[in-house]
Amino acid sequence: MEKVIYQDLGRISYKDAWDYQQVKLKEVIDRKLGNRDLAEAEKTKQEHYLLFCEHNPVYTLGRNGDFSNLLLNEKGLAEHGIEFFKINRGGDITYHGLGQIVGYPIFDMDCFFTDIHKYVRFLEEVIIRTIAEYGLNGIRIEGSTGVWLASDGTRPPRKICAIGIHLSRWVTMHGFAFNVNANLDHFNFIIPCGITDKAVTSLHLEVGYAVDYEEVKSKTKKHFQELFEFEYA
């Protein structure tokens, strides 16, 4: 069974977390390449990482994203205290900030399965199972990656978790942003993921109370372990 090293980075700037991801990504890839030509008995056991953190307010735009979905100019970003980065994940524009669980799995998928679509479905399923513990029915919407709550007749479908990934030599980086106790006001300055006919929500708004952030992290960790069938190192 694979071993995953869990690290809680706490509140951290997006740039610092991105740089740290790159360090760990290189470690995993270097170990993978180093093992390639070795006999089985000589190979070093692969290590995988699951990083959780909470970011200062930031917008990130995926590699194929549309700048027009950012509704603030440079001055507006500065006035609202929001950073901006164009990055190498899939997807369009999204927001990270306080009250979210942002997760960055750095997994060598050769040790699990080499199917990108299955990997994204597994990330969605982690969140679907987590919010189910709070009585919510998370759904998938074809063509719109992430976890959603269905329209309830008065509100449109609402995204509770955004997902965007990048793989290098079948090693993953980036991941998900799960709105737990998130202030959604900053979503007003973007067109989230370029989608205009749907909304954004947060776990605390759906259940009607401020949820225990650490408890949600613990449940999310548990479902990662169960779905991907690994042990925490």
Place 193 in a pLDDT band, splitting at 50, 70 and 90.
low
Q: What is the residue whose two structure tokens read 């949820």? A: 211
Which whole number is the average pLDDT over 66-76? 87
pLDDT of residue 219 exceeding 70: yes
pLDDT of residue 192 exceeding 80: no
Which whole number is the average pLDDT over 194-218? 91
Q: What distance in Å separates the CA atoms of residue 47 and residue 147, rounded to the nearest whole number?
A: 28
H-assigned helices in 83-199: 116-132
The identity of residue 214, as a single letter, is: E
Tokens of 39: 């006999």
Q: What is the residue whose two structure tokens read 């706490």? A: 10
In sequence order, what are the residues at sequence separation of 6 or more whose Cβ sits closer than 8 angstroms to the Cβ of residue 90?
A: 62, 63, 64, 145, 164, 165, 166
Within 10 angstroms of residue 112's Cβ, the number of other Cβ atoms is 18
Q: What distance in Å separates the CA atoms of residue 51 and residue 187, rounded to the nearest whole number?
A: 24
pTM of the prediction?
0.92
Q: Where are the domains of the chain?
A: 3-232
Share the mean pLDDT of the chain.
Answer: 93
pLDDT tens for each residue of 78-120: 998 999 988 888 778 889 999 999 999 999 999 999 999 999 9
Which whole number is the average pLDDT over 171-197? 86
- Could you tell me the fold of the domain covering 3-232? BirA Bifunctional Protein; domain 2 (3.30.930)
Q: What distance in Å separates the CA atoms of residue 60 and residue 113, rounded to the nearest whole number?
A: 28
Active-site hit among 53, 111, 161, 193: 193
Annotate 144-168 with DSSP letters as a single string.
EEEEEE---SSS--EEEEEEEEEEE
Question: Nearest Cα to 94, choosing from 156, 184, 155, 206?
Answer: 184
161 has catalytic annotation: no
Q: What distance in Å separates the CA atoms of residue 17 and residue 20, rounded to the nearest whole number?
A: 5
Percent of the chain with pLDDT over 70: 97
pLDDT of residue 25 exceeding 90: yes
pLDDT tens for each residue of 117-165: 999 999 999 999 999 999 999 999 998 899 999 998 888 999 999 999 9
Q: What distance in Å separates the CA atoms of residue 162 and residue 124, rounded to the nearest whole number?
A: 9
Strands 231-232 and 171-179: unpaired
Tokens of 179: 């709105």
